[in-house]
Amino acid sequence: MACRILIWRTYVITGNQSDQIVLYKSIVLFLIAGIAYWLVGYAFAFGDGNDFIGWKYFASSELPDTRYAFFFFQYTFAATSSTIVSGALAERCEFIAYFVYSFFITG
């Protein structure tokens, strides 16, 4: 799905004007999304806690080995959610603002 969104953003939204920048943004987005989701996103969403927010498994600490596949599965959804919304931001904001937005939406 990520490859499809990446190709769509490159050729449909930007009109083949800035292919390298779009590809760079998409690759860095998945790195930033991975770090944000690993640090806080998974813990907030699926950590042990109350009904509103979790406070266990920050940065995969104490995460059982049986939940790593589930972690990766949920990470792909978190990263894809930020790429879907990024289509609205295509060529409308700076790199730093885009990456800060990506960190907060996935974390």
Q: Which pLDDT score is estimated for 41?
A: 92
The pLDDT tens digits of the residues spanning 55-91 come to 889 999 889 999 999 999 999 888 888 877 776 776 7
Whole-number average pLDDT of the chain: 81
> Counting every residue, how long is the chain?
107
49: phi then psi, degrees, rounded to nearest 5: 180, -140
pTM recorded for the entire structure: 0.76
Q: Is 49 helix (H, G, I), strand (E, B) or coil?
A: strand
CB 62 within 8 A of CB 45: no
Domain boundaries of the chain, sorted by first residue: 2-106
